[in-house]
Amino acid sequence: MMAADSKNFIADASFLLTLLLPDEHHHSQYHRFLNLTANPNCHFFAPSLIESEVANALISAHRQKRITAKDIQKILPQFFNYPINYLPVDLQKTIDLSIKYRLSFYDASYLYLSLHHHYPLLTLDQPLAVLAK
């Protein structure tokens, strides 16, 4: 049972990447996101595909020479230390959202969870954030 003052959030990959990638720490949301993860009353949920999305983003950052392969070895344990609770998505409803709003399946998955569970979505994707409200 979660405390009455607990806060539940859906976390997308952009939320985690802001915390994980050193060159993202300048982002205006960095300190807000960092404070949320430090708060023991905050609970984070995501679809399990977030692991693939974060891994893909790390590979892209490496190809762009934003991070080294050694950096990835340091970042992955940090990623797995974040207390993300995985929730299943309804595939058909997620596909419906993807088609309706012209979203990737990944983004539609976060939106589905946010709408279905009535949890705020933590994202840097402003159009997605607007849909989740």
* C-alpha to C-alpha distance for 23 and 4, rounded to whole angstroms: 36
Q: How far apart, in whole angstroms, are the C-alpha atoms of residue 90 and residue 100?
A: 15
Q: What is the pLDDT of residues 58-103, one digit of tens each?
A: 999 999 999 999 999 999 999 999 999 999 999 999 999 999 999 9
* Pick from 93, 55, 92: nearest CA to 114: 93
pTM above 0.85, yes or no: yes
The owner of tokens 């762009």 is 64
> How many CA atoms are closer than 13 Å to the CA of 131, on its beta-carbon side?
21
Question: Residue 65 — left, alpha, or beta (φ > 0 → left; ψ -120 to 50 → alpha)?
Answer: left
What is the distance between the alpha carbons of residues 112 and 133, in angstroms, rounded to a whole number? 12
Q: What digits encode the pLDDT tens for the residues 38-67? A: 999 999 999 999 999 999 999 999 999 999
* Pair of tokens at residue 20: 């994980």
7-132 homologous superfamily: 5'-nuclease (3.40.50.1010)
pLDDT at 118: 95
Q: What would the two tokens of residue 120 be?
A: 């705020």
Q: Is 123 helix (H, G, I), strand (E, B) or coil?
A: coil
